[in-house]
Structures are given as C-alpha cells and as structure tokens.
A = this chain, B = another copy of it.
C-alpha cells in the first residue's frame, strides 16, 4: 500500500466533520490520524464514527505529534491565523478554512511563517473545484473565448443567516462575497484592482439594523483591463443560486446551477423542472472532495497547492475595499488602499 498523508483535524464542527468524513471515505491517500476540539465529546463522537484513535481537546497536541503530517484548520475563524502560524512552525502542511483572518497583518504573518517553514498551505475556496466552474476556468485558460472582457457572478444564498451570526460575520463582503471575489480572480486569471459596491437591506430589516446589507452589486476592474460584476442576495427562495459567465473577444462561456436530477414534468398547469440544489453542502459536495484530494496530492508529491496563502489574502483585500465602497455609497475604491 502506498504512503498516506496523516492528517489531524482541528475543530470537529460542521466543516470539520465534513472534511474528516470525506477524507476517510473518498480520499484513499489520506489517513485521519487525530481529531481535536475544545469541546471534547464532539471530537470523540466524530473519531469513534470514523475509527480514529487519537482524540484531544487541545490542538497543540496534534501539532506536537510526529505522526501527523498535515492539519485541517476547521476551528472558529478567529483562531485560523494563530493556528496557521503555529502549525507552520511545527512543520505541518496546512489546509485552512476561509478566511485566514479579517486582519491583514495577521494574514501577512501567516504568509511569512508558511514561506519560512516551507510547508504547503491551502485555503478552503472549494468552489474552484466545482466541475462546472473548473470547466469554465479551463475554457477561459485555453483561450477559447479570447481575451476576457466581462466576468459575471450570480451568488445568492437560499436563506438569510440569523442576525446573531450576521453581527459577528464581518459583513456580507467578508462573509459571503469573499467566495465570489476568489472566483473572479480564478476565472479572469487577473488581480482585482478596484471595486465599487452598492448594497441595501431588502431581505431582513434586522440585518440592516445590525449595520450590514443583504442585497448588493459589486463592480470590479481587473489588472488585465477586464471588468466584472457580482450580485448577491442573502435569500433566493428557490434555492442556492450559483452561476457564472465569462465573456470575451472570441465568445462567452457560462455555468449553470446544479439540480437534484434532470427530469421535466409536463402537466396541464405547467412544465416544471427541479429547483437548484438547496445550499453549499449539496451543491459543492463533490467540490469539497476534489479540494481535499488536491491538497493531499500536493503534500504527498511536493507540488504547489492550487489555492495558496496569497490566494487567501487577496479576497480579504477586495472585501475590505468593497465594504469601504459600500459604506461610501458606491464610490470606487482601489484594492489594497
């Protein structure tokens, strides 16, 4: 049997469980060697289900374990950057859920430590691994639509999160649009240089009272001269709406929503098809597995990860600019200012 990557899962919440289960069931080159959670029973239950032996309530035990090659940081957002740094110092390869941090300085410290340690670092922008979006990227990269002129992302959640969540989320741009900011970088193959954002509160007035918006449109300029637009809503009652379009000098390529099945029902009343898959767990199920495989492969083969720490930094910079633009009523703001 070939060499496996021995992985420690840090954080046994929803996303930690998802990664642990996928690694065990769908990534043969990976072995989940240890699980930690500050809430020990959570770690225990997950470990038992998956037959994992080492269980801790302190992630530093995982970092000290010489039989762990890599970690998945699935703990709360405010711990991502500090654990990233410590894991790098401990020589572990790192898969970190997004965002690395909301604070630019902390992200830059992570970049610095990762570079110093020479470990692999991958950020959890799983949508890049969606089969449809990956094909769009491939089509663009192969030049089939020529030079990129316009990048469009439609990204709407099926329902708004509770206001308690919104209050600590960092705002819609840092919490939700950040995935779309990564997507436009990925698709265009170019950096975002300037953004302008208009936002409003149409879904839930409580979100507005919490100082956030729930509906917004963000216009972007790219270093290569292209322009782009993202539209977001916290609530699309028909399901998770995730579509992209890249338009260029030689054509256009689009990716549509995924549905539970492709049947069509014709009746006296209507012709109906299935609604989009409900939310990210359904829609990006396969994409999560693909990103895990990509990370494991990069670690085992010593190749580059497909979404590195720099890719974790840039969307945060864009989100900050978008938030500033939105606060200013839509005035264009340079990214990195």
Contacts and interface: CB of A to CB of B under 8 A. Distances in A.
Taking the full assembly, how many copies of this chain does it contain? 4
B237 A251 contact: yes
A147 B227 CA distance: 29
If over half of A's interface residues share one DSSP class (helix, strand or loop), that class is named, otherwise mixed; here it is mixed
B203 A249 contact: yes
Most B CB contacts (10 A, CB to CB) among A135, A241, A262 go to A262
Given A198-B219, A236-B247, A247-B236, A270 B267 contact: no
A273 B274 CA distance: 11
Chain A contact patch, size range: 35 or more
A255 interface: yes
A231 interface: yes
A152 interface: yes
A260 B131 contact: yes
Contacts of A135: 260-261, 263, 274
Given A149-B233, A236-B252, A238-B266, 5 more contacts: A132-B263, A134-B261, A257-B262, A258-B262, A271-B276
25 contacts: A25-B25, A132-B261, A135-B274, A136-B263, A139-B265, A149-B203, A156-B247, A196-B330, A196-B332, A198-B219, A198-B227, A200-B225, A215-B227, A219-B330, A236-B247, A238-B251, A238-B266, A250-B268, A251-B265, A254-B266, A256-B264, A257-B262, A270-B272, A271-B276, A331-B332
